[in-house]
A and B are shown apart, each in its own frame.
Chain A
Amino acid sequence: MKYQKVSGRIISIVGIIFLLYLVLVGKLFYWQIVKAQEIKEIRDRQSTESLELVPERGDILFQDSFPIATNNINYLTYANPKVITDIPLYSNAIASILDYDAASISARLNQDLYWVRLGVFDHETKEKIEDLDLKGIGFQIETSRFYPEASMAAHLVGFVGKNDEGENQGYLGLEGYYDRQLKGKSGKLYVVKDALGNPIVTDVREEKKIDGRSLLTTIDRTVQYIADEALKEGIKKYDAEGGSVIIMESSTGKILGMSSVPKFDPQKYYEYEGSSYQNPAISDLYEPGSTFKVLVMAAALNEGLVKADTKCDICDKPVQMSGFTIKTWNDEYHANSTMTEVIQNSDNTGMVFVGQKLGIGRMVDYLEQFGFGEPTGIDLQAEVSGQIRRDSQWLPIDLATASFGQGISVTPIQLLTAVNSIANNGYLVRPHMVEKIFEGDGEEITIKPENRRKVLSDSAAEVMKWIMVNAVENGDSRWVTLDPIAVAGKTGTAQIPVAGRYDPSQTIASFVGFFPAQRPQVSMLVLVNKPKTSIYGSETAAPIFFSIARDVVRYYDISSE
């Protein structure tokens, strides 16, 4: 009886426990199944920290793998005015280190705020500020772009600024053109933290960031330095407003160096006017003047309309056309000049003779074949191309002036690429800057040189090459040589159109050529904008060209054989 009573109690207790268990299971079911999502969100809000993993922007490297652009660490420095007791003393202490006025720091710290930005500083400055041992000062690491060679390659590299969303974005040059490759993809890190805020190591989730790809350029650091220094020296010497140099490997279109003056510092781009960011070598249109004559002559040679020894029968006096008088640059006339002499003397009347042989249709066709009116395809942002008028829009006077490089607009890179086709057995190449793209996983993409088309026959290119060598050795720039290396080249002195007229005192002096003529390896264009000591290409651009060429020949150990 007693046993039955105890047994009944146990059954009752077990029953109650079972019921409580059922209630517990039901409650757990409610929270873990029915309300699971809601609870998870609350938990995430309370204990999960989500951090954005910012990808590292890829490097841009010179040919020797030294960075043109990389990343370095700076410190965003801030202060909490609420904990500062003596603001004037505090401001003076900071001002003694920073290049700031104490009053402006004091004004910032007098605001009713908990966080005041003092600026972004390098490691050295940060350490000096730390040594002051001030209260309420803090630092946050920031990665910023760093250009070790400063402004040496500014125009070809571009810069990194902020877009409308406040994110880093590459602008112009390589930074702009390859921005998507360089910037990578951001990731996220979700860390579950305990009550004390320490991360729980077993509960970390990560959406991996993908760092940006790095670029190995074709730019040779030494050649770039040589070009840069010679150009700066030349611009100063000839009291010019600016200038550009482009150096290209003749057979591949690889850009070995590209420099323009005036420059800007890509690290402090915001201190310069927007117009100074543009790379004149790819973005400025100009009238090429006499350097263009070699292309018109090459076209006529290619068509078999003239030969090197064909004589000009209109070169004995100025040419009258449509009410205009076309003279030579020095008003000297050479009756029965050969085509070789026409280029040697840079004879405008001789080029009118060649232009008339060529005719409007063929002239327009060759302009297009040489790549004018379309981008060269160089891998730099902001390349412009200009336009070629249709055949029907050309008048005989247009044909005449275009034959000696007036009334037609080209970019420096277009002109060099076109002239380079003479060096490259008639093939027009696509100029390019990047040789390899490195991915994070060690894979690399190689960008191969590209021949766009064959514009000139081998024989026409060969004849034209030696006409250009003769122009260098016997023309107006014969006083500068690269003995024993034979240089094929041509000077240019293009007047600048101002308000519909040409101003004879303002010119763009230039020299385009390649060397060694026997087996061209390097093609180069030098432009000097509005030189004042002399307006002529032979007296300004040519010496700069030969100064650079001399160093490049020595650097690459180029021989005449």
Chain B
Amino acid sequence: MKKVYLLALLLFVIVAVGQIVYLAQSNLLASESVRAEEIKSVIEKIEEDNKILESEILSYSSLVVVASRAAEVGFEKPKEYITLKNTNSIALKHE
């Protein structure tokens, strides 16, 4: 009789421990899911910001914009070009 009670108690303990482990695991998974969702949001936000910055850099570095800014600050297209064909000295050492 005593054996039967012990067996029942053992079964109860196993079930109880199993249930506690199950609950703990479920809780952990749920927490991880929330955390994962948070990390995902942060990643998406950073990616979004990166993309916006990338677009801004491209806009500012386009030739059309650079040429326009250059003209605004007084740069002009040269009227003519001078090409040096020979290897002439462009500076001489003063003796």
Nearest residue, chain A, Cβ from B63: A225
Name the one of B29, B30, B62 contacting A149, with C-beta atoms under 8 angstroms. B62
A123 contacts across to B, CB distance below 8 A = 52
Contact B58 A67 (CB under 8 A): yes
Contact A201 B64 (CB under 8 A): no
A73 contacts across to B, CB distance below 8 A = 48, 51-52, 55
A144 to B12, CA, bound (A): 61
Contact A201 B36 (CB under 8 A): yes
Name the one of A10, A67, A200, A222 contacting B33, with C-beta atoms under 8 angstroms. A200
- Shortest Cβ distance from B4 into chain A, in angstroms? 7
Given the known A-B contacts A10-B4, A73-B55, A123-B52, are A198 and B63 also in contact in the complex, defined by CB atoms under 8 Å? no
Contact B81 A146 (CB under 8 A): no
Contact B58 A70 (CB under 8 A): yes
Q: A10-B4, A72-B51, A221-B63 provided; 12 other pairs, C-beta below 8 A?
A: A6-B1, A71-B51, A72-B52, A73-B52, A146-B55, A146-B58, A148-B59, A194-B30, A196-B30, A198-B33, A198-B34, A201-B32
- Shortest Cβ distance from B78 into chain A, in angstroms? 9
A392 at the interface (CB under 8 A from B): no
- Shortest Cβ distance from B95 into chain A, in angstroms? 34
Q: 15 A–B contact pairs at CB < 8 A?
A: A10-B4, A66-B62, A67-B58, A72-B51, A72-B55, A146-B58, A196-B30, A198-B30, A198-B33, A199-B36, A201-B32, A201-B33, A202-B29, A225-B64, A550-B81
Given the known A-B contacts A10-B4, A73-B51, A123-B52, are A199 and B64 also in contact in the complex, defined by CB atoms under 8 Å? no
Contact A150 B81 (CB under 8 A): no
Which of the four size classes fits the interface of chain B?
Answer: 20 to 34
Q: How many residues of A contact B (CB 8 A)?
A: 28
A16 at the interface (CB under 8 A from B): no
Contact A148 B51 (CB under 8 A): no
Contact A148 B67 (CB under 8 A): no
Given the known A-B contacts A149-B63, A225-B63, are A201 and B52 also in contact in the complex, defined by CB atoms under 8 Å? no
A229 to B55, CA, bound (A): 24
Nearest residue, chain B, Cβ from A72: B55
A202 to B30, CA, bound (A): 10
B61 at the interface (CB under 8 A from A): yes
Interface residues of A (CB under 8 A from B): 6, 10, 66-67, 70-73, 123, 141, 146, 148-150, 152, 194, 196, 198-202, 221-222, 225, 229, 550, 554
A123, A148, A199, A202 interface centre (most CB from chain B within 10 Å): A148
A550 contacts across to B, CB distance below 8 A = 81
SS of B interface (majority): helix
A152 to B66, CA, bound (A): 13
Contact B55 A199 (CB under 8 A): no
Given the known A-B contacts A225-B67, A550-B81, A554-B81, are A200 and B62 also in contact in the complex, defined by CB atoms under 8 Å? no
- Shortest Cβ distance from B58 into chain A, in angstroms? 4
Contact B29 A200 (CB under 8 A): yes
- Shortest Cβ distance from B52 into chain A, in angstroms? 5
A10, A71, A123, A222 interface centre (most CB from chain B within 10 Å): A123
A71 contacts across to B, CB distance below 8 A = 51
Name the one of A66, A198, A202, A221 contacting B37, with C-beta atoms under 8 angstroms. A198
Closest 10 CB pairs of A and B: A148-B58, A72-B55, A198-B33, A148-B62, A225-B63, A123-B52, A149-B62, A73-B51, A201-B36, A201-B33
Name the one of B48, B54, B64, B81 contacting A141, with C-beta atoms under 8 angstroms. B48
Within 8 A of A (CB), among B1-45: 1, 4, 29-30, 32-34, 36-37
A229 to B29, CA, bound (A): 61
- Shortest Cβ distance from B48 into chain A, in angstroms? 6
A202 contacts across to B, CB distance below 8 A = 29
Given the known A-B contacts A72-B52, A73-B52, A554-B81, are A150 and B64 also in contact in the complex, defined by CB atoms under 8 Å? yes
Nearest residue, chain A, Cβ from B60: A148
A10 to B7, CA, bound (A): 13
A149 contacts across to B, CB distance below 8 A = 62-64
Contact A201 B29 (CB under 8 A): yes
- Shortest Cβ distance from B68 into chain A, in angstroms? 11
A152 to B67, CA, bound (A): 13
Contact A194 B81 (CB under 8 A): no
A66, A72, A221 interface centre (most CB from chain B within 10 Å): A72
Given the known A-B contacts A10-B4, A72-B55, A123-B52, are A66 and B33 also in contact in the complex, defined by CB atoms under 8 Å? no
Nearest residue, chain A, Cβ from B26: A194
A456 to B37, CA, bound (A): 68
A225 to B70, CA, bound (A): 14
A6 contacts across to B, CB distance below 8 A = 1
A229 to B62, CA, bound (A): 14
Nearest residue, chain A, Cβ from B31: A198
A411 to B90, CA, bound (A): 49
B64 contacts across to A, CB distance below 8 A = 149-150, 152, 225
